């Protein structure tokens, strides 16, 4: 199972990113646990300045703006 965190305030872009993660994981048949992190101090702890951020299995893979679906598929499939 992949542990995925969407880092952000809960804005529309953050919600869209979370929905895209679910969609891509389902397409790929990958089980995920999805956590939405909205605490600014926790987000800063990942070293990102722009949201939404995306963390998969403890590794920051994206920060700032909505990621591309093909990038999500690649990140979810890795490891």
Average pLDDT of adjacent 10-residue blocks, the chain of 79 residues = 96 96 97 97 94 97 96 92
E strand spans, the chain: 2-7, 32-37, 53-56, 59-63
Q: Are 3 and 56 in contact (CB under 8 A)?
A: yes
Q: How many domains does one find in the chain? A: 1
Whether this model's pTM surpasses 0.85: yes
CATH code at position 73: 3.40.30.10
| Rounded-to-integer distance, Cα 28 and Cα 37, Å | 24
Torsion of CA 39, 8, 5, 76, to 10 degrees: -170
| Full domain range(s) for residue 20 | 2-77
Distances, alpha carbon 66 to alpha carbons 13, 19, 21, in Å: 6, 11, 11
């Amino acid at each position: 199972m992949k542990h995925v965190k969407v880092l952000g305030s809960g804005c529309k872009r953050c919600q869209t990113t979370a929905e895209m993660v679910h969609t891509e994981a389902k397409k790929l048949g990958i089980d995920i646990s999805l956590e939405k992190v909205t605490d600014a101090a926790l987000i800063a702890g990942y070293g990102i300045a722009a949201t939404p951020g995306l963390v998969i299995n403890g590794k920051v893979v994206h920060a700032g703006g909505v990621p591309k679906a093909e990038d999500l598929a690649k990140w979810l499939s890795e490891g």
